[in-house]
């Protein structure tokens, strides 16, 4: 059991039949009255973030989120197939579970599959990926304005902004959390 007085960022527990994670918390001890804990909590299944106050003595059942490395194999319509690298078991995951940053993942990349009591609720791609640019406009000589960018299409079909000096066929490194160009690979 986890008491509200022991909350830490990232703690996960069951609340009203949902699994929530602490995003931010603050122990408040007003001049009058009892102390309380103000917390920003995120529903790990839906991603909804809310603020709530807790009595420090309240106890909640801890929830253990399983984070397993699995290799992305292929997709078939709305189903994306992942393989457990230890048991070689393949599991299909619906596209509704995948986040927006999954557009940077190509076949055979290892991702973290998040599940709670066997129910998959999320897939985290690697933090950084290296992808080849398949289409972008040519940069012009002398076109060196500060931080100027142009659109580019990656081998996964995703579009990002890259500096003017990047050309088609180059391999670049991307931060999947922000979707930003980092450097040439």
Q: What is the pLDDT of residues 120-173, one digit of tens each?
A: 888 888 889 888 988 888 766 555 666 778 888 988 888 998 888 888 888 999
Whether residue 152 contacts residue 166, with contact meaning beta carbons closer than 8 Å, is answered with yes
Whether residue 122 contacts residue 44, with contact meaning beta carbons closer than 8 Å, is answered with yes
Fold classification of 66-124 (topology level): OB fold (Dihydrolipoamide Acetyltransferase, E2P) (2.40.50)
Q: Which residues pair with 154 in a beta bridge?
A: 133
The CATH 2.40.50.140 portion of the chain extends over: 66-124, 128-184
What's the CATH architecture for 2-60?
Answer: Roll (2.30)
The encoded tokens of residue 15 equal 């609340």
124-133: pLDDT as tens digits: 888 898 889 8
- Is domain 128-184 given the CATH code 2.40.50.140 in the classification? yes
Whether residue 69 contacts residue 125, with contact meaning beta carbons closer than 8 Å, is answered with no
pTM of the model: 0.72
Share of the chain above pLDDT 90, in %: 7
């Amino acid at each position: 059991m986890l008491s509200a007085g022991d909350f830490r960022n990232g703690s996960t527990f069951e609340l009203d039949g949902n699994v929530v994670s602490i995003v931010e918390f603050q122990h408040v001890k007003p001049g009058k009255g009892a102390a309380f804990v103000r917390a920003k909590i995120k529903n790990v299944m839906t991603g909804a973030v809310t603020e709530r106050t807790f009595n420090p003595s309240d106890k909640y059942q801890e929830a253990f989120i399983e984070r397993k490395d699995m290799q992305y194999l292929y997709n078939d319509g709305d189903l994306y197939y992942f393989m457990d690298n230890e048991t070689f078991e393949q599991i299909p995951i619906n596209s509704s579970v995948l986040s927006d940053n999954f557009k940077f993942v190509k076949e055979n990349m290892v991702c973290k599959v998040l599940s709670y009591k066997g129910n998959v609720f999320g897939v985290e791609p690697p933090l950084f990926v290296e992808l080849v640019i398949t289409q972008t406009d040519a940069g012009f000589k002398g076109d060196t304005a500060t931080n100027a960018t142009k659109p580019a299409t990656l081998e996964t079909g995703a579009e990002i902004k890259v500096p003017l000096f990047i050309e088609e066929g180059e391999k670049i490194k991307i931060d999947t959390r922000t979707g930003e160009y980092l450097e040439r690979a």
